[in-house]
Amino acid sequence: MNKKLSVSILFFSATVILLTFIQIVYLESRNTHMSEKRLLVKKTALPDLALSTEAHFIRHRSLSDLFSIFSNAPMLLEYFPSTFVYHYSGVTQQKNPARIELEK
């Protein structure tokens, strides 16, 4: 058995595992600004992330108009995931929403 080879392979694995742990520890310590984010969201009360801003129904989609996309054309198929949100009548369909179910 090539002793050098087996030592080097063990050294490599140990390095990789050590690196992973160092990364985890460092990244955990970096996550400190969460409280500021919560503060901002609490103050502004705006949901959703500012990930896309090309249309007004993208950012804060959950608080946009109902079926905003129909202002483009009623035949238009939904092309943004954010338009998948609509609200059912609170009176008639309290228990069983037609399409969307919350997975838990």
For the bound state, the minimum distance from the C-beta of residue 7 to other proteins, rounded and expressed in Å, comes to 10
**Cβ within 8 Å of residue 29, ≥6 positions away:** none
Give φ, ψ of 91 to 5 degrees.
-85, -45
Footprint on residues 32-91 left by other proteins (CB under 8 A): 33-34, 36-56, 58-67, 81-82, 84-85, 87, 90-91
DSSP line for 15-40: HHHHHHHHHHHHHHHH--THHHHHHH
Given the rule CB under 8 A, which residues bind other proteins?
A: 1-2, 5-6, 9, 12-13, 16-17, 19-20, 23-24, 27-28, 30-31, 33-34, 36-56, 58-67, 81-82, 84-85, 87, 90-91, 94, 100, 102-103
